[in-house]
Amino acid sequence: MGSNQTWITEVILLGFQVDPELEIFLFGFFLLFYSLTLMGNGVILGLICLDSRLHTPMYFFLSNLAIVDMSYASSTVPKMLANLVMQKKTISFAPCILQTFLYLAFAVTECMSLVVMSYDRYVAICHPLHYSVIMSWRVCTVLAAASWIFSFLLALVHITLILRLPFCGPQKINHFFCQIMSVFKLACADTRLNQIVLFVGSVLVLVGPLSLVLVSYTRILVAILRIQSGEGRRKAFSTCSSHLCVVGLFFGSAIIMYLAPKSSHSQEQRKILSLFYSLFNPLLNPLIYSLRNAEVKGALRRLGKKRLL
Helical ranges in the chain per DSSP H = 20-50, 57-74, 77-85, 93-126, 131-134, 137-163, 180-184, 192-202, 208-226, 230-258, 267-275, 281-292, 294-308
* 276 three-state secondary structure: helix
| pLDDT greater than 50 at residue 264 | no
Decide if 302 is inside a domain.
yes
What is the DSSP secondary-structure string of 14-45? -TT---HHHHHHHHHHHHHHHHHHHHHHHHHH
List beta partners, residue 13: 173
What's the CA gap between 119 and 198, in Å, rounded? Answer: 26
What's the CA gap between 192 and 198, in Å, rounded? Answer: 10
Decide if 129 is inside a domain.
yes
Report the pLDDT value the prediction gives residue 33, as an integer from 0 to 100.
92
| pLDDT greater than 90 at residue 231 | no
pLDDT more than 70, % of the chain: 89
Report the pLDDT value the prediction gives residue 1, as an integer from 0 to 100.
42
What's the CA gap between 280 and 278, in Å, rounded? Answer: 6
Give the other-Cβ count within 10 Å of 7's Cβ: 11
Residues 109-125, mean pLDDT to the nearest whole number: 90
Decide if 4 is inside a domain.
no
Q: How far is CA 262 from CA 87, 104, 172, 174, 265, in A?
A: 31, 19, 19, 15, 6
What is the DSSP secondary-structure string of 125-166? HHSGGGHHHHT-HHHHHHHHHHHHHHHHHHHHHHHHHHHTS-
Residue range(s) defining the domain that contains residue 271: 11-308
Range from 58-72, 111-125, 146-160, 215-229 carrying the lowest mean pLDDT: 215-229
Range from 161-170, 184-193, 292-301 carrying the lowest mean pLDDT: 292-301
| pLDDT greater than 80 at residue 265 | no
Report the pLDDT value the prediction gives residue 188, as an integer from 0 to 100.
87
| pLDDT greater than 60 at residue 5 | no
Decide if 57 is inside a domain.
yes
| Nearest by Cα to 5 from 157, 184, 170 | 170
**Residue 273 belongs to domain with CATH number:** 1.20.1070.10
Total number of domains constituting the chain:
1
Range from 114-123, 229-238, 265-274 carrying the lowest mean pLDDT: 229-238
Decide if 5 is inside a domain.
no
Decide if 242 is inside a domain.
yes
109-112 LR contacts (CB < 8 Å, sep 24+): 109/68, 109/72, 109/147, 109/148, 109/151, 109/152, 110/65, 110/68, 110/69, 110/72, 110/250, 111/151, 111/205, 111/206, 111/209, 111/250, 111/251, 111/254, 112/146, 112/147, 112/150, 112/151, 112/205, 112/209
Decide if 3 is inside a domain.
no
Decide if 6 is inside a domain.
no
* Phi, psi for residue 92 in degrees, rounded to 5: -65, 155
Averaged confidence pLDDT in the chain: 84
